C-alpha cells in the first residue's frame, strides 16, 4: 500500500517521544516506546520482517528489512536508512507540540524537522520500494533508533549488533551495510563531515559554613570562578587554533551547565559544571579531554580543588575520507528533483552517523528541513521538501546499480 508521507509525518508528530535529556522527569510524553509501537504496527500491516532491540527501559530500536533483488546472504548489496525516534523536550514551545498543524505548506510540531520528517521520508520510500520492487534494487534496512539527542546510545547499540560486539545479533542483517544514510535536516544537501563531542563534569570542592560567618568555610563557587576564567581563555585563545578542517572549521569548547549550593545562607561546599568540547573529524575525543584537563590544571592557582569526572559522552566526528562516492551518487539523485541542492557540506552538529561509519560502512547524512528550525519554539518543516526527500531516496534505490 502507498504511504502518504505527510500523513505519516503527522502521525509521528502526534506521538510524543520526548527525550528527558538526563533529567529526573516523569510523564506520558517521555521516551520513545509509543513511536516504536506505531512503527511495529505499520511493519506488521505491510508484512515486513522487523526486530525490536531493547536498549533501556521504554527505549527500543526497531529495524525493518525490505528484500533486494539479490539477498545480502547471496552477495547482494545492502543500503541502510537510519532515523532516531526521540525528540528534544518541549519546554518553552509556543505552539502545541503534538498537534501536527499544517499552515502555508508547513507542518508544525516537536520533531517535525528533527527528525520525524526525515523518518517519514524514509518510510514512504521504503514502502514504495516494497510495493514496486524495482529491478536491481539493494536490500533496504531501516533502523529507527533511540536516544540520539542525549548520548547516541541507540546507534551505538545497533552498530554493536551488526558488528557482533557484546554478543548482540540481528537476524535481519549479519554484516555491515554497503552504504548508510542517516536522516537529519540538511535542506536536501549531503553532509559528508561533521564534528563529534566530548562532554564531562568538573567539580570544585570547599567547606560548608553558615553565611553569617563565611570565613569559617571555603566557598566552592569562588574556586569554580577561577576555573571558569581559565576555561573562557582556553576556549577563546587555544582551542580554535589547535586544528582546522576545510568543511567544519575549528574545534570549540563551551560550558553549558552550572550547579551547586543548598541555600543562600550556606557557604557552598561543591560546585559542578558541564563542559562540551566539540572535536573535528579525525580528532580523538579522549585526547581532547586530556588536553583540556592538563591546560586547566596548569593554569588554575594552587589551592583550588578540582575533580574531573570521566567523560559521559565521547563520540567521534564524521570524516569525509570514505563517503564521497556515496555522496556523489546521492547527489545525482538529488539533482533530478532539487537542482539547487545536493551540495557536499560539513556541519558543526553531531549525528548518529559516526557510529555506522566506524563499522566500515560509507555513511552520509541527508534529509529535509533546516537545522535552523530544529529544537525551536515553533518547530516546522516545509512539506515540499519532505515530499522531495522521499522521491530522492526512492530514486536512489531504483537506480542503485546503474
Q: 252-283, pLDDT tens digit by residue? A: 999 999 999 999 999 999 999 999 999 999 99
Q: Give the per-residue pLDDT at 163.
A: 66
Which is nearest to 173 in space by CA: 160, 185, 182, 186? 160
Residue 162: pLDDT band with limits 50, 70, 90: low
Residue 134: pLDDT band with limits 50, 70, 90: very high
Question: Is a pLDDT exceeding 90 seen at residue 368?
Answer: yes
Q: H-type helices in 271-359, by residue range?
A: 285-299, 324-337, 353-357
Question: Is a pLDDT exceeding 90 seen at residue 304?
Answer: no
Question: Is a pLDDT exceeding 80 seen at residue 301?
Answer: no
Residue for grid cell 562516492 = 325
Q: What value does the mean pLDDT take over residues 189-217?
A: 97
Q: Give the per-residue pLDDT at 164.
A: 65
Q: Give the per-residue pLDDT at 288.
A: 98
Q: What value does the mean pLDDT take over residues 59-68?
A: 97
Which positions ≥6 away from 72 have C-beta within 8 Å? 78, 139, 173, 174, 175
Which positions ≥6 away from 319 have C-beta within 8 Å? 193, 281, 282, 357
Q: What are phi and psi of 227, to 5 degrees?
A: -60, -45
Question: Is a pLDDT exceeding 70 seen at residue 8?
Answer: yes
Which is nearest to 1 in space by CA: 64, 47, 50? 47
Q: Give the per-residue pLDDT at 169.
A: 81
Mean pLDDT score of the chain: 96
Question: Is a pLDDT exceeding 80 seen at residue 7?
Answer: yes
Q: Which domains does the chain have, with CATH numbers?
A: 5-194+317-399 (3.40.630.10), 196-315 (3.30.70.360)
Residue 62: pLDDT band with limits 50, 70, 90: very high
| Cβ atoms of residues 141 and 173 within 8 Å | yes
As beta bridge partners, residue 182 has 82, 365
First-to-last C-alpha distance (Å) of the chain: 27
10 Å CB burial of residue 347 (0-12, 13-18, 19+) is: buried
36 vs 55: CA distance, rounded Å: 12
Q: What value does the mean pLDDT take over residues 305-325?
A: 95
Across 28-37, 150-159, 182-191, least confident range: 150-159
> What is the DSSP code (8-state) at residue 236?
I
Residue for grid cell 536490500 = 139
For residue 217, CA distances in Å to 13, 299, 327 come to 51, 24, 60
Amino acid at each position: 500500500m502507498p504511504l502518504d508521507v505527510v500523513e505519516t509525518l503527522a502521525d509521528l508528530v502526534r506521538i510524543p517521544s520526548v527525550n528527558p535529556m538526563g533529567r529526573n522527569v516523569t510523564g506520558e510524553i517521555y521516551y520513545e516506546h509509543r513511536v516504536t509501537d506505531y512503527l511495529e504496527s505499520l511493519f506488521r500491516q505491510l508484512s515486513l520482517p522487523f526486530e525490536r532491540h531493547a536498549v533501556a527501559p521504554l527505549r527500543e530500536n526497531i529495524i525493518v528489512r525490505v528484500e533486494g533483488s539479490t539477498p545480502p546472504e547471496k552477495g547482494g548489496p545492502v543500503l541502510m536508512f537510519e532515523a532516531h525516534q526521540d525528540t528534544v523536550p518541549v519546554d518553552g514551545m509556543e505552539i502545541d507540540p503534538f498537534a501536527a498543524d499544517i499552515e502555508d505548506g508547513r507542518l508544525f510540531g516537536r520533531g517535525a524537522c528533527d527528525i520525524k520528517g526525515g523518518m517519514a521520508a524514509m518510510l514512504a520510500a521504503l514502502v514504495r520500494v516494497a510495493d514496486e520492487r524495482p529491478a536491481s534494487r539493494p536490500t533496504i534496512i531501516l533502523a529507527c533508533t533511540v536516544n540520539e539527542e542525549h548520548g547516541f546510545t541507540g546507534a551505538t547499540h545497533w552498530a554493536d549488533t551488526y558488528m557482533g560486539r557484546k554478543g548482540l545479533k540481528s537476524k535481519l542483517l549479519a554484516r555491515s551495510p554497503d552504504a548508510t544514510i542517516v536522516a537529519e535536516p540538511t535542506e536536501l544537501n549531503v553532509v559528508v563531515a561533521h564534528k563529534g563531542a566530548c562532554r564531562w563534569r568538573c567539580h570544585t570542592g570547599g567547606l560548608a559554613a553558615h553565611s553569617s560567618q563565611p570565613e569559617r568555610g571555603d566557598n566552592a563557587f569562588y574556586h569554580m570562578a577561577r576555573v571558569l576564567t581559565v576555561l573562557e581563555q582556553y576556549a577563546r585563545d587555544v582551542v580554535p587554533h589547535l586544528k582546522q578542517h576545510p568543511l567544519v572549521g575549528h574545534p570549540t569548547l563551551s560550558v553549558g551547565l552550572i550547579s551547586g549550593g543548598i541555600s543562600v545562607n550556606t557557604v557552598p561546599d561543591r560546585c559542578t559544571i558541564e563542559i562540551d568540547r566539540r572535536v573535528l573529524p579525525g580528532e580523538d575525543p579522549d585526547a581532547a579531554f586530556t588536553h583540556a584537563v592538563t591546560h586547566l590544571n596548569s593554569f588554575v592557582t594552587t589551592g583550588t580543588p578540582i575533580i574531573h569526572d570521566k567523560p559521559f559522552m565521547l563520540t567521534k566526528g564524521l570524516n569525509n575520507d570514505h563517503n564521497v562516492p556515496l555522496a556523489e551518487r546521492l547527489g545525482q539523485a538529488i539533482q533530478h528533483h532539487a537542482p539547487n541542492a545536493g551540495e557536499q557540506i560539513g556541519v558543526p552538529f553531531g549525528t548518529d552517523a559516526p557510529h555506522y561509519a566506524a563499522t566500515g560502512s560509507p555513511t552520509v547524512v541527508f534529509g529535509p528541513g533546516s537545522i535552523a528550525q530544529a529544537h525551536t519554539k515553533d518547530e516546522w518543516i516545509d512539506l515540499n521538501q519532505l515530499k522531495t526527500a522521499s522521491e530522492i531516496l526512492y530514486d536512489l534505490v531504483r537506480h542503485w546499480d546503474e
